[in-house]
Structure 1
Amino acid sequence: MRAQKTPIHAVSTWVRRQPPKVKAFLAVVSGMAALVLLRFIVHDHDNLFVAAEAVHSIGISVLIYKLMKEKTCAGLSLKSQELTAIFLAVRLYCSFVMEYDIHTLLDLATFLTTLWVIYMIRFNLKSSYMEDKDNFAIYYVVIPCAVLALFIHPSTSHHFLNRIFWAFCVYLEAVSVLPQLRVMQNTKIVEPFTAHYVFALGVARFLSCAHWVLQVLDTRGHLLVALGYGLWPSMVLISEIVQTFILADFCYYYVKSVFGGQLVLRLPSGVV
């Protein structure tokens, strides 16, 4: 006797059979529906940014647990951690010289934790590091981000170099997860703690993106004017959206795996 399919499994099967364009359309519709829901259930949309940082912290905590408990860094990308450390270091500098606030302390904690993760991968757990799988050349993203920041940056009254640094960390953050996704694509099998960590990044990126989009809607576009003139305000929003969509496909397979009761996530070819 065949087991009865659950509604979630039936929907997942239907979505999987759709062509890429339909999947992209469904993803956009789902994202818009989630934004509408958040707009009505979250009264202070600044809380979404705090929630994003909290979820990011949870993801890092899961990563630390993996390194300390399992004594292995298999499946983790050192290059993604290095890119994270770079954009956090630049953002910390910008925060200290431009707009020091509570988020500076949160970034400092995340930066120190990221440095610890890098140290563990490079030295204590080097034998389990999959260097051959972590083959994404980081200059493919660092150089374009630096060039883009040189031409498109805030038009505030701050020093010219500081404005370039600010733009650079925004652009680099948007693509810092790419080496991690490359490692997972190369291995095809993602163990639970790494999957939890990347999923947390995806949720954090969506909440951060929702914060910016809803703030623009609440201010009827005045927030874009406050960020400056030219292409910079649009690039801030585009960077947030890019971060979300980069992780959207992985998050779909993660949720599907969780509802399917699988402890290990298996990625099909072409996901990343």
Structure 2
Amino acid sequence: MNRTIETEKDQLTRERRVQQLVLLLKIQATKSCAGVSLKTQELYAIVFLTRYLDLFTNFVSLYVEWNRWKGETQNRRSGTNAVKQRLTAKLASDATDTYCWIFRSYNTIMKLIFIGSALAIIWLMRRHKVVRQSYDKSQDTFRYEFLLAPCFLLSLVLNNMFTVMEVLWTFSIYLEAVAILPQMVLLQRTRNVDNLTGNYVFLLGAYRALYILNWIYRYYTEPGYRQWLVWLSGIVQTAVYCDFFYYYIQSWKNNEKLQLPA
């Protein structure tokens, strides 16, 4: 399967990656990770690492591409008319590939940035001498082995193609649907939720809910559009957030601090 341009598989985590960066900046600015579940962040890191394995198969070397383009440009300037014409024709024929190359470069760089941000959050919560003191390890005790094993087994059975890349990508889709559960459990145990953490969790769920509307629209407007595995995972993920959505909206309507039932 060609992953050289931004496909729906890349779009699935585009907003999620932005939210990951926002969380990282929030932790760095406040030097606090209070209310943030390390378990959930570790699960999201696994999601990114298993979803972006195409970095090893579709790697883009900006250095090589730049030198190739520079060499062709110099030859075009210094060569004979025949050489110039051939190079001009070649550059024109490559124009249609330029758009794809830009997206390949963009995806390669951004995927590395967001994998790095996910790992940076984990490092801050585990190792930073100030940030780690605000991490409530005693409350963040969700055993995510009970999520990893079922998701992996399900990906072996329900997938688009039984290859290593596709099975791991499918695993990442299933795991993303439930990765927020440790965060939800932590918020329920601590009950009081600060505004930044509450907004972060709400946006995580809201973007997936909006994707469902996008899928419905595409189903009726694009012939043959079917993404059963993605749809199922998206519905499950949105359902996980429903209880949180209710209390979040109630707190917003009543202008009260968000509190979740124990």
Q: TM-score, normalised by structure 2?
A: 0.71
Local SS of the residue matching 2:52: helix
Matching residue of 2:14 = 53
Residues 116-265 of structure 1 correspond to what in structure 2 (within 5 A)? 116-124=120-128, 125-155=131-161, 160-220=163-223, 222-224=224-226, 233-262=227-256, 264-265=257-258
Matching residue of 1:68 = 28
**Quick one: distance in 2 between partners of 1:214 and 1:109?**
31
**Quick one: distance in 1 between partners of 2:57 and 2:178?**
25
- For residue 253 of structure 1, report the CA deviation from its aligned partner: 1.6
**Quick one: distance in 1 between partners of 2:134 and 2:241?**
25
**Quick one: distance in 2 between partners of 1:207 and 1:95?**
28
Matching residue of 2:65 = none
- For residue 57 of structure 1, report the CA deviation from its aligned partner: 4.8
In structure 2, stretches of 5+ residues that fail to align are 1-6, 60-102
**Quick one: distance in 1 between partners of 2:175 and 2:32?**
27
Is 2:228 the counterpart of 1:267?
A: no
In structure 1, stretches of 5+ residues that fail to align are 1-45, 225-232
Tell me which of 96, 107, 119 is aligned to 1:115: 119
**Quick one: distance in 1 between partners of 2:171 and 2:44?**
12
Count of matched residue pairs? 209
Aligned CA distance change for structure 1 residues 129 and 83 (closer, same or farther; 3 Å): same
Fraction of identical pairs, as percent = 32
**Quick one: distance in 1 between partners of 2:163 and 2:47?**
18
- For residue 243 of structure 1, report the CA deviation from its aligned partner: 1.1
Aligned CA distance change for structure 1 residues 236 and 62 (closer, same or farther; 3 Å): closer
**Quick one: distance in 1 between partners of 2:111 and 2:216?**
22
Deviates more, 1:76-85 or 1:91-100: 91-100
Q: TM-score, normalised by structure 1?
A: 0.68
- For residue 260 of structure 1, report the CA deviation from its aligned partner: 1.9
**Quick one: distance in 2 between partners of 1:98 and 1:246?**
34
Deviates more, 1:204-213 or 1:173-182: 204-213
Larger Rg: 2
* One-letter amino acid matched to 2:116: L
- For residue 258 of structure 1, report the CA deviation from its aligned partner: 2.0
Matching residue of 1:81 = 41
Local SS of the residue matching 2:225: helix
Aligned CA distance change for structure 1 residues 210 and 195 (closer, same or farther; 3 Å): same
Q: Contact 2:44–2:118 (CA<8 Å) still a contact in 1?
A: yes
Q: Contact 1:51–1:204 (CA<8 Å) still a contact in 2?
A: no
